[in-house]
Amino acid sequence: MVVSIMAWIIKCMTGNAAFPKPPVPLAPPVPPDPTLPVDMTTRMNSLQAAIAAAVDAGTPQTAEKNAALAVAFEGLDANGFYVQTVARTNLPMLLSSGYQAASTNRAQSPLDAPSITGIDNDISTQLDVHLTPITNAVGYEVQACTGTGAWTTAMFSTQARTITLAGLTTGTVYQVRARALGGSTGQSDWSMPGSKIVD
């Protein structure tokens, strides 16, 4: 969940004119600058690797995962404070960062899972995934897999109607699933998967 949230925030803040100078860079600076904090992309990748290494592993790997998680939260908190300071009471601006506004609504509930209404292959090596929009969702995460392979995140999108997955392999059947981001739990359940062969 934390990795997905980090990926979503990195996507939303990259090139976002409202937040030009986050205290923790979103990607590794070019050229490298050792005076800057470790960037969010590196923190996210390190956390993802540590989570994978900790599956069915022992105490050292679990400790490494917890350390990577602490570093990830440190970056999220620093940039979150920056976003809050810049946006203040401008809710649309704040939401454009990928961060969510704290809610005082005690009735806040999890989001419904989206449904895949269609998958089109109108352009070679590309699939257009169509989802049902979910009320109060701030975005959508789409994952894909082939055969018995693992699900991997293929795209984040702020809208549901058409989400394009590009750079796919022709002659391959892709399974696709999606979930909405937001709500009281951070994300909905995954949709039922759909599948399509790429021409």
The pLDDT tens digits of the residues spanning 77-103 come to: 999 999 988 998 888 898 899 888 765
Q: What does the angle CA 93 – CA 79 – CA 111 come to, to the nearest 5 degrees?
A: 60
The pLDDT tens digits of the residues spanning 142-193 come to: 999 998 889 988 888 888 999 999 999 999 999 999 999 877 777 889 999 9
Please indicate, yes or no, whether residues 120 and 86 belong to a single structural domain of this protein: no
Say if CB 18 and CB 86 are below 8 A apart. Answer: yes
Please indicate, yes or no, whether residues 18 and 91 belong to a single structural domain of this protein: yes
Instruction: Tell me the average pLDDT of the chain.
Output: 88
The pLDDT tens digits of the residues spanning 92-135 come to: 898 899 888 765 554 457 889 999 999 999 999 999 999 999 98
Q: Does any domain span residue 106?
A: no
Please indicate, yes or no, whether residues 23 and 78 belong to a single structural domain of this protein: yes
Domain final position from 45, 64, 95: 95
Cα–Cα dist 87/190, whole Å = 31
> Which stretches within the chain are classed as H helix?
2-13, 40-54, 59-87, 91-95
CATH number of residue 133's parent domain: 2.60.40.10
Please indicate, yes or no, whether residues 15 and 91 belong to a single structural domain of this protein: yes
Q: Does any domain span residue 10?
A: yes
The residues near 70 (Cβ < 8 Å, ≥ 6 apart) are none
